[in-house]
Structure 1
């Protein structure tokens, strides 16, 4: 009777050891990209109202829940004519629009400077470029940049970034702020196929 129990314990020990070794061998450490993707969650996009280059009010909330939206934060000091993301989106806008994708650029420069940059780029852009300047707002200037995590906390300089809002009005977040897309070309390709 004792030999049978001892044999069972030895057999179970060998099975546990084999399963443990198999788990260690096949459970490879996750890459940084996989860890970031696992930490990414979808949350409602922060809407905003701002003036475009023609001083017309653009309301992101009017698009939320109805369209896919690309929001592009860019360095207004360099100008819209120097931002490669804006220029790529301008060149492919007709194709994106055919797939019900809206685009809006966000900058910290005034509408007149945005108009001048667009003229240098060959004329108006087919999508609005809004100015994140509202001295009358209780949140102050750069409120959109703050809500979207596009301010460097060390020096309050604006940060570039491209974000995709889905048709439900949701945007990927990494922690408390939206997570920018890594590759604008890949984003455009995926949206143009849908």
Structure 2
């Protein structure tokens, strides 16, 4: 698990438009709310995305952006963004590499088959690239409001 005070692992992933987004590009400029979710179009995924989307402007007033990450492909993200009116970038991590680095990827075995999925996790990363808050096993409802309060305290 990653802990507050640690440097956030850098990454580069494609967004819904297939443009590359690199975490280090925000260093020195903006705080980043990085959250991992299991899948587009799931009840929890919809709730979390909409609640973060409703707070994009408030987060921007505190120099913060939101990035959502799942193993869905770019086209699925594009459809999800359009259908739900999401106002921030969703990044595609199809192999789970970045999710694994953030300890958000979980595996379990069903019979002889190993399955992978993302456990909802959120990280508040400051402008210096340090993790200020790390949450694992997140409950979607109300989480974005909690994160906004934490970002407001970053100054």
TM-score range with shorter-chain normalisation? 0.7 to 0.9
Partner of 1:128: 89
Contact kept in structure 2, 1:81 and 1:117, CA below 8 Å: no
Q: Which residue of 2 aligns with 1:180?
A: 135
Moved more, 66-75 or 45-54: 66-75
Query: Which residue is equivalent to 1:48?
Result: 11
Superposed displacement of residue 66, structure 1 = 3.1
Distance in 2 between residues matched to 1:114 and 1:180, nearest whole Å: 23
Change (3 A) 1:83 1:118: same
Structure showing greater Rg: 1
Asked if 1:151 corresponds to 2:105, the answer is: yes
Q: RMSD value over aligned CA atoms?
A: 2.4
- The equivalent of 2:23 in structure 1 is 60
Normalized per residue, the structure richer in strand is 2
Match of 1:13 in 2: none
| Number of the residue aligned with 1:70 | 33
Measured after TM superposition, the shift of residue 192 of structure 1 is: 3.7
Following the alignment from structure 2 to structure 1, what is the Cα–Cα distance between the partners of residues 17 and 42?
16
Q: Give, in whole Å, the separation in 2 of the partners of 1:95 and 1:41.
A: 23
How many Å separate the matches in 1 of 2:40 and 2:80?
A: 10
Number of matched pairs: 141
Question: 2:40, 2:77 within 8 Å by CA — same for their partners in 1?
Answer: no
Q: State TM-score, norm by structure 2.
A: 0.79
Q: Secondary structure at the match of 1:83?
A: helix
Structure with the larger RCO, 1 or 2 (CA within 8 Å, 6+ apart): 2
TM-score (norm 1): 0.64
Identify the match of residue 142 of structure 1 among 85, 96, 99. Answer: 96
Counterpart of 1:169 in structure 2 is 129
Do the aligned partners of 1:72 and 1:162 also contact (CA within 8 Å) in 2?
A: yes
Structure 2: gaps spanning 5 or more residues: 109-114
Residue in structure 2 matched with residue 90 of structure 1 by the alignment: 53
